[in-house]
């Protein structure tokens, strides 16, 4: 058994696909940054209103989660894009660059799944409380 490890290199056609994907991911990351910053701006400009009224605290929290979500999506998508681009511009480390891209995508989808589960639970709780307090159940 040899101590040498075999390094996989993607071929020209595979590199073309990876390069196109990396480019598209880079494009997607840009508006996500602006959306995250827009959430931040609205949150900052309306901070007193959002935190001064107890009924608006939920809105402020939702805007904060939206801001962090878009900025997270932007950062992890951009990092994945850059790692994929390295596959097409370097040699000898294709698998490690691919793993870096996949790890950043794993982080992004872990965050997205957590946000989706959290909001789903909040919506179901709100529906349940609305039905209970509205008299549809419990009377």
pLDDT in tens, 121-131: 988 998 988 88
Three state DSSP letters for 36-86: HHHHHHHHHHCHHHHHHCHHHHHHHHHHHHHHHHHHHHHHHHHHHHHHHHH
Q: Which residue, among 112, 111, 98, has the nearest Cα to 21 in the 3D structure?
A: 98
pLDDT given for residue 40 in this prediction: 95
The residue extents of the domains of the chain are 12-133
Structure tokens given for 47: 């901070």
Dump pLDDT digits (tens) for 83-113: 999 999 999 999 999 999 999 999 999 999 9
pLDDT beyond 60 at 5: no
Q: Which residue, among 90, 104, 97, 85, has the nearest Cα to 24 in the 3D structure?
A: 85
pLDDT given for residue 131 in this prediction: 86
- Residue keyed to tokens 């789903």: 120
Dump pLDDT digits (tens) for 35-88: 999 999 999 988 888 788 887 888 888 899 999 999 999 999 999 999 999 999
Query: For residues 11, 16, 19 and 21, what is the CA-based torsion angle, rounded to 10 degrees?
Result: -110
Predicted model pTM:
0.81
pLDDT given for residue 61 in this prediction: 86
- Residue pair 88/15 in contact (Cβ under 8 Å)? The answer is yes
């Amino acid at each position: 058994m040899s101590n040498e490890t075999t390094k996989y290199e993607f071929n020209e056609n595979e590199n073309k696909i990876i390069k196109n994907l990396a480019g598209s991911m880079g494009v997607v990351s840009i508006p996500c940054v602006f959306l995250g910053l827009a959430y931040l701006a609205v949150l900052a400009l309306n901070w007193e209103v959002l935190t001064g009224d107890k009924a608006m605290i939920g809105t402020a929290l939702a805007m904060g989660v939206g801001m962090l979500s878009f900025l997270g999506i932007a950062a992890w998508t951009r990092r994945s894009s850059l790692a994929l681009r390295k596959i097409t511009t370097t040699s000898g480390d294709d698998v490690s660059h691919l793993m870096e891209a996949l790890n950043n995508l794993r982080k992004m989808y872990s965050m997205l799944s957590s946000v989706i589960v959290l909001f789903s639970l909040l919506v179901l709780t709100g529906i349940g409380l609305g039905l209970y307090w509205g008299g549809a159940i419990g009377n």
